[in-house]
Every structure is written in C-alpha cells, then in structure tokens.
Amino acid sequence: MKHDLRLIAASTCVLASAMLGQAAHATGVAAGTDITNVATATYTSGTGTSTVSSNTVTVKVDELLDVAVGSLTSSPVSAGSSAAVLAYSVTNSGNGNEAFNLTADPAVSGNAFNGTIQAVAIDSNGNGTYEPGVDTLVSNSAAGPVLAADQTVRVLVLVDLPGGATDAQTSQVRLTAAAVTGTGTPGTVFAGRGDGGVDAVVGASHATGNALGSLIASLATVTLTKSAAIADPFGGSSPVPGSVVTYSLLAHAAGTGTANGVHVTDAIPTGTTYMAGSLTLGGTGLTDAADGDAGTASASGIDVSLGSFAGGAPDRTITFQVTIN
C-alpha cells in the first residue's frame, strides 16, 4: 500500500492580521499580540484520504524597548537676552506603549560654555515654538508622555546663557530619552513589565537614545566715548568763566546680538550750569521734560534712552551744553 504524507502549515487569521500590522509599522507586531498556529497533515491510506490537525501553539509577543532621538535644529540657535529654544524629536521605535525619561544636559565636552537649562517642554501643537500655557512642561530627567508604538513627539529645551559667555561662543546641549521600563544591553529582559503583563525586552538602541542641539551666544557690547568742545566768550576755545562746553557722547554697539534697555546718563559737572534746551540725540533736539521723546535734562544731569541697540548698528550721538560758572 502506498502512503503519501504531506504537511501543510496553516496560520490563523490572527497571524495574518499581525503580519499586515508588521508591514504598516517599523516596530513590528504589537506587544501583547497572540500569534497562533495550527499545522495539518493530509494522507492517503488504502482508498481513503484523511486530514489531521495538530494542537494550537500560541506565542504572545513581548514588548521591545527601543527609542530614537534626533535634533531638529540644523544650525546653532542664537542665545542672547532671551532663552534659546532647542528642538528635538523623540520616537518610540519599540512595539508597545512606553514613556521615556527626558534629560537635558548642557555639560558637553568641547563646549565654550555650559548653558543653564531653564525648562524642558513637550511641543503640544508641534509648531516648534515654545508657548507658555500651551506646551507641557516636564521636570528635567522626569518622564514625558506615554508614546504609542511609532509615535513621535517634539521636545523643546529652553537654555539661558551663563554669566561670562562671550559673543559668538558656541555650545551644545544633549537630550537623552531613556525607557521608563528600563534600559540595558540588547536582550535584557524585564519580566512581566511590558504591555499587558508580557515581558519587556531591551532592543538594539539599549532602550535609550540621545542627540545634540547647538546654540551660539549672540551678544552685544556697548562702549561710550565722551568728548568736549569749548567756545569762550572771545571767539576762542579757552575754558574760562562764561565759556560754553558742548559735551558729545558717542555710543557704539559691537557684536552679533542686541543690547536692550540702553540708557545714557551724565551728571552736570560741578562749577557749570546746564543750558536749557541744548539736549540732542542724533542731531535732533530733545525736550528737557519727561515726555514722549527719548531724553530728559535738568540742572543735575541728563538721561537719554537708546532702547534696543543692535551690534553693528549706526553709532548714536548725544550732545548737551553747559556754561562754566
């Protein structure tokens, strides 16, 4: 009697749908998914054909812990009087729901200065701009939101310049994301700590990733040069009683940033009297009174506001006159 034995592996609908999921997601089959399989054997014996089935084997997929971190700033971000905002992406590249501890570290080897971390925030609307009251603040080194498999969030790190930083110096800040469930060498198992109580297994990323964002100090320095021109009552330039002294104050801004709230003040020298109405800025007269223009003047001194003064902007000149008593 001739016997013909043929083994055919038949996967269930659950496996088929899982494979479709794998095609759609780089993470693979979702953690906690049951992959079931039944084998069949068909054979002939004599004049009859028979089919038998094996027992069902079920494999529940463990959670793979993986993460990818990238910098979203291709060039250094300027930091000056306001905080620099560095943007990063954090992607859960595992196959389950996972939260990641987010740590911003400004102490990177090779830095010209180490910035001060002001805040770490989740960019709630993904527009790349930090918006107080809209974006969610996260304590440095604390867990961010739970991310579904393949989900990406934008993380914003606000960095202040430290005292002593100088114009055009550069620095980097490292953002690290580490799986809350655990990190370690690939293959490390955290029993029962994955989605739905399955095991969690550390993936190729060691369940941690990091990226560097760069910033550059953008500062301005202001210098002030004072000069005096004297006109005496006799048509000369001798500093005698009755002579008029015209003081000129030349303000100069250098650097790549902006100096804000610049005020120039000067006291009227002892032995002289301020000449009312002589205050000017850039050749334009200013009233002595505290009104809508940039300056005030009195018998005690002058005060002129230059406002924001960008490095490389044209110099600003202030003049006023006194007479020698």
Query: Per-residue pLDDT tens for 95-119?
Result: 999 999 999 999 999 999 999 999 9
Domains in the chain, ordered, with CATH?
4-61 (no CATH), 65-217 (2.60.40.10), 220-324 (2.60.40.740)
The string of pLDDT tens digits covering residues 241-267 is: 999 999 999 999 999 999 999 999 999
Which pLDDT does position 82 carry in this prediction? 85
Amino acid letter for position 283:
G
Q: Which two tokens stand for residue 10?
A: 């038949």
CA–CA distance, 267 with 297 (Å, rounded to integer): 10
pTM metric for this prediction:
0.77
Q: Over pLDDT 70: what percentage of the chain?
A: 92
CA–CA distance, 310 with 262 (Å, rounded to integer): 10
CA–CA distance, 92 with 65 (Å, rounded to integer): 8
The string of pLDDT tens digits covering residues 187-223 is: 999 999 999 999 999 999 999 999 999 999 999 999 9
pLDDT higher than threshold 80 for residue 6: no
Which pLDDT does position 81 carry in this prediction? 82
Strand, coil or helix: what is 22?
helix
Which pLDDT does position 56 carry in this prediction? 96
- 5: pLDDT confidence band, cut at 50, 70 and 90? very low
- Burial tier of 171 (Cβ tally within 10 Å: 0-12, 13-18, 19+): buried
CA–CA distance, 156 with 130 (Å, rounded to integer): 7
Which pLDDT does position 264 carry in this prediction? 98
